[in-house]
Amino acid sequence: MTNVRTYNPSVRVGNWNEDIQLEEDTLKDFLEKREHGQLMYQKRTKLEQTIFKKLDLSISRDGCVHFGDIVSLRCPAKRDRTKYFANKEPRDACQLCVTPAINKILEAQKLEGPCNVTASKDLCSNLRSSFVITSIDGSKQKGEPLRYGDLFYLCTLDNEGGNLYLSSCRATLEKCAAKSRKQEVTFVSEPSFMTEWRILHYNPQMRMEYEGIPVPANAIALINHKYTNNDLAVEENFVIRTPFGTQEYEVSCHTYLDSHRAEQDVNHFMIMMGVPGDDVYPVAN
């Protein structure tokens, strides 16, 4: 039999000295990595603690969304919860989240693109679910209201967030959503024409009238992709298991229309922000 170790280093038969030295070097290398926090479980624990750390969303003083605001995108629960298939629960409220690959969680110190996008039932605001609305050409200053029809980038936060851009492209045989096979949505490192989005009114009969009006916070709207003219959607029939051990809905860029040619509730998103009173000011003595 080959590669069978019949004696241990204490017997001192064969290359016993080399075996002892190898075990000592392995232990020394392990202790050194543990001291500097370079072990895989230490890296994963540190990044997960950062990803799930609670963050505060921007406060909307005038009830509107602005460029530079930190927001989250929430898809409300299914309206008609009485109609669902056997052994299938109606969809709960969920919000857009970044879902990095397992190998990037173990090795990276921050979120790195490309990353998948899912919809989590956990509605807490953290690094995965908090995004910044950014002007695409710098013409819109920070604090200026976001209006229906304005183009913008939806970015993750800086530093640990990686400053990634929400992107989508037409579905092909090689590149599409994993389960629904619809148009894929990802977070990428560089901006392009595929990372440009706009807000549309959810009522198609009022869409023209609302063009150019400031977008209200915490209200239902459509997140429309300019390049393909498709809307962000939650695939309620397809669930993905994430590297964090949770089951979340798949997200695609596809417009689902009902019999009246109006977008269905899977396309409805609320731009969530804080309201006055969420922030606490110190009381003067």
Tens of pLDDT along 104-152?
A: 766 667 788 789 999 999 998 998 999 999 999 888 889 899 999 999 9
Domain that holds residue 259: 55-81+92-272
| Percent helix, strand and coil across the chain, each to the nearest 5 | 20, 30, 55
Q: How many C-beta atoms lie closer than 10 Å to residue 171's C-beta?
A: 19
| Cβ within 8 Å of residue 167, ≥6 positions away | 185, 186, 187, 188, 192, 194, 195
Residue 35: inside a domain: no
Residue 49: inside a domain: no
What are the structure tokens assigned to 54, written together?
């609670």
Tally of domains in the chain: 1
Residue 279: inside a domain: no
Place of tokens 């869409």: 207
Residue 7: inside a domain: no
Backbone angles phi, psi at 22, to 5 degrees: -65, -45
User: What pTM, to 2 d.p., does this model score?
Assistant: 0.79
pLDDT for 271 beyond 90: yes
Which one is predicted more confidently, 205 or 10? 205
Residue 237: inside a domain: yes
Which one is predicted more confidently, 259 or 89? 259
CA distance 109 to 161: 10
